[in-house]
Amino acid sequence: MNFITVSHRGKTMISLRQLENAKAFCLESGHVSASSLQRHLFIGYNEAKQLVEILIQQNFCEQSYTAEYGYKVINDKDNS
């Protein structure tokens, strides 16, 4: 299984499968937040927050956060 290493106060491994699951959820819902990923993927907050940060870095979702929906997904077929 392939992993992405996220460095923030140590190293955390994020599986590419989990990242792909997060992207699929984002495309389905049109937005993402750490709490929505937590509920959908059954993961902890820190891991969900790191997934959101990766999605932002990959320009999969916008950097601006709204209290109503979280981060809006950028509709670009090249991201999936």
pTM above the 0.85 mark? no
Flag whether pLDDT at 60 surpasses 90.
yes
d(CA 11, CA 21): 21
Q: How confident is the model over 33-59, as pLDDT tens digits?
A: 999 999 999 999 988 999 999 999 999
Q: Cβ distance 72 to 66 under 8 Å?
A: yes
Flag whether pLDDT at 5 surpasses 60.
no
Flag whether pLDDT at 8 surpasses 60.
no
